[in-house]
Amino acid sequence: MTVDAESVVEFMMADEQHQNMLSYLERGRKFETATGQYLDEQFIAEMRLWAETPPPWEPVVNLDDIVSEAALRKHNLPFAPVKGYLEHINEVMKAFPRNEEACDAVAQKQVERHVRAKALEN
């Protein structure tokens, strides 16, 4: 079976979002009663905090929880106000030294999971 890189990346992103959602639900949906406006404000604040924090970054659990709650509600978070933060984070990530061996191991594991998932579909 030939593995399509774009398909693997899509799988990785969906899998990470799924894992974040499960974790959020298991921990009790702390933003369940928050308003959409509050989610928007917290999303922007968390993105700003992430962009202002130098690597290595700790897991962004609060941000993941906000994104998970928004997804559960089908609430669109405001990405226009955080575009600059995302660009900054991407630039920092590009400049930060990577452990290529660790990256390769993670990528290989994701490819294997993707192949198993595709086999289950067939």
Indicate whether 1 pLDDT > 50.
no
Mean pLDDT value of segment 103-111 = 67
Where residue 58 falls among pLDDT bands split at 50, 70, 90? confident
Distance between CA atoms of residues 65 and 113, nearest Å: 24
Range of lowest pLDDT (7-11, 62-66, 91-95): 7-11
Indicate whether 109 pLDDT > 90.
no
Report helix, strand or coil for 80: helix
Indicate whether 57 pLDDT > 90.
no
More confident residue, 10 or 112: 10
pLDDT tens profile 40-55: 999 999 999 999 988 7
Cβ neighbours of residue 77 under 8 Å, at least 6 residues apart? 39, 40, 43, 66, 67, 70
